[in-house]
Amino acid sequence: MGEVVGLAGPGEVGAEPPDVGLDRAYERFQGLTVPRLGVGREAVQVQHRAILSSGAGTPCITDVTCCVVDCEQTRVVLSAQLDQEASPIEAGAANAHLGRCPACRDWWADIGRLNRVLRVRVAEPVPDIATPVLARVHPPRTGRGQWVRIALAIVAASELVLAAPGLVLGDGAAAVHDARHLGSFGVAVSIGLLYVAWRPARAFGILPIVTALALTMLVSATVDVAHGRVTSFGEAHHVLEFSGLVLVWMLAGRPAPRRLKPIVDPSHPAHRLRHT
């Protein structure tokens, strides 16, 4: 009869509440029954479920299964879950309570929105300058087919042939040092031109050097020919420097001086492109 109406038998006492209803308050006498020690009956093992406060604000589990008894404890577990401090069992019990309690669901939704406001902010608008910058760079061009690279390789090989004897042999005691200096310079320039013929993307980097070489050769050759120190035929080999300059300029994308325009709003002081 006691098993039917839920009363304790003569050899049993009331245990802790089974916490079946997570959304009902604690009722003192709604508990499971456990066998009293010392009674001559067969003891039956009962799985007891309870949540105790650990003193730090996060519930602790005293057995394999957890059951949150009210909204207050549920919200404590959910708060710990935001900080990744709740165990999987605690989180599962709290989520089960959310499925039955509309008030806790609304509270959880408000907490989620507040947490996002505190952790995430709207990104500031940034002007897109990648497309204008890429449009203004000088991509390497090979002209009409590969003939520019082949012609540059021929010019570089010719300069190497003309500069190598002065670097290796020299002429006379005093002229050996000067001849080797000039030979070293000529060999270095020819190797640079050969590298550009092999890797056209590097043409823009060597263009200032080749331009300075061609201009200085032009000025010095003009002055020497005007004063009769050398003949025009003797300076004809400098045509190779001018030919190399033209070919490197073509591989560099035919760049020309031009005035840069602001690629973003000039009123924004943090994003301005100055002419360099």
One digit per residue, pLDDT tens: the chain, 276 residues? 444 444 444 444 444 444 444 444 444 434 443 443 333 333 333 333 333 344 444 444 433 334 445 788 888 888 888 888 888 888 888 888 888 888 888 888 888 888 777 777 777 888 888 877 776 765 555 555 588 889 999 999 998 988 888 777 765 444 777 777 778 888 888 999 999 989 888 888 898 999 998 898 888 888 888 888 877 777 777 888 889 999 998 888 766 655 555 545 555 544 444 444
Using alpha carbons, list the distances in angstroms from residue 70 to 53, 61, 83, 96, 276: 13, 15, 21, 12, 70
CB of 30 closer than 8 Å to CB of 18: yes
* Residue 116 DSSP symbol: H
CB of 70 closer than 8 Å to CB of 25: yes
243, 150: one domain: yes
Q: With respect to residue 242, please indicate whether it lies within any of the assigned structural domains.
A: yes
**pLDDT the model gives residue 91:** 84
What lies within 8 Å, CB to CB, of 22 at 6+ separation is 67, 68, 69, 70, 74, 93, 96, 97, 100, 101
The identity of residue 118, as a single letter, is L
d(CA 21, CA 100): 10
**pLDDT the model gives residue 195:** 92
Give the range of the structural domain holding residue 84, as residue numbers without chain letter.
Answer: 12-24+47-118
214, 111: one domain: no
Number of domains in the chain: 2
Instruction: Tell me how long the chain is.
Output: 276
Q: With respect to residue 276, please indicate whether it lies within any of the assigned structural domains.
A: no
246, 144: one domain: yes
106, 206: one domain: no
90, 170: one domain: no
Question: What pTM was estimated for this model as a whole?
Answer: 0.44
Q: With respect to residue 34, please indicate whether it lies within any of the assigned structural domains.
A: no
Using alpha carbons, list the distances in angstroms from residue 194 to 48, 190, 223, 244: 85, 6, 30, 10
164, 238: one domain: yes
**pLDDT the model gives residue 191:** 92
